[in-house]
């Protein structure tokens, strides 16, 4: 990827959250069943609820997710939390309750975090003393 923008970063984070939701549950090792799988007849299946289809992510999607997990490491913990909550599709009202910020402040933290990630991925240096608004303009998220 040649040029990262905050919107592309947001899409990759959303994809990573989608992959994390669909990974299989971890199982404890050492526990297994010696019973064979039960083969249901048609008459048995008539009254059963259909099993939920689980779409497993592709290996490429898992690799992109693993790469994406490290992007929020150097951010302020509040910014990282807001970014991951938005990636999971959490509503702004719930995010504001969780982090204790107003909607406009939470949105600014989110844009700032996406901008910092985009600038890092583009290997662009910026002064840490810049205001959040200037960093957001520098990355082109406004």
pLDDT reported for residue 142? 56
Instruction: Tell which wins on pLDDT, 77 or 32.
Output: 77
pLDDT reported for residue 2? 61
pLDDT reported for residue 130? 86
| Across 101-125, average pLDDT | 93
Instruction: Tell which wins on pLDDT, 103 or 133.
Output: 103
pLDDT reported for residue 1? 53
| Across 90-105, average pLDDT | 96
| Across 53-64, average pLDDT | 88
Distance in angstroms (rounded) separating the CA atoms of residues 56 and 47 = 27
State the Rg of the chain over Cα.
21
Distance in angstroms (rounded) separating the CA atoms of residues 29 and 87 = 31
- DSSP-assigned letter for residue 28: -
Mean pLDDT of the chain: 89
Instruction: Tell which wins on pLDDT, 34 or 81.
Output: 81
pLDDT at 68 over 70: yes
pLDDT reported for residue 125? 83
pLDDT reported for residue 77? 94
Q: Is 2 helix (H, G, I), strand (E, B) or coil?
A: coil
């Amino acid at each position: 990827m040649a040029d990262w923008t905050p919107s592309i970063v947001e899409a990759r984070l959303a994809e990573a959250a989608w992959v994390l939701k669909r990974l299989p549950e971890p199982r404890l090792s050492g526990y297994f069943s010696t019973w064979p799988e039960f083969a249901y007849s048609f008459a048995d299946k008539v009254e059963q609820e259909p099993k939920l289809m689980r779409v497993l992510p592709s290996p490429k999607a898992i690799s992109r997710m693993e790469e994406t997990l490290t992007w929020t490491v150097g951010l302020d913990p509040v910014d990282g939390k807001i970014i991951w909550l938005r990636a999971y599709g959490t509503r702004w009202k719930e995010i504001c309750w969780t982090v204790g910020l107003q909607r406009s402040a939470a949105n600014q933290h989110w844009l700032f975090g996406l901008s910092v990630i985009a600038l890092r991925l583009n290997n662009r240096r910026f002064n840490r003393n810049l205001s959040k608004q200037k960093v957001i303009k520098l990355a082109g998220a406004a």
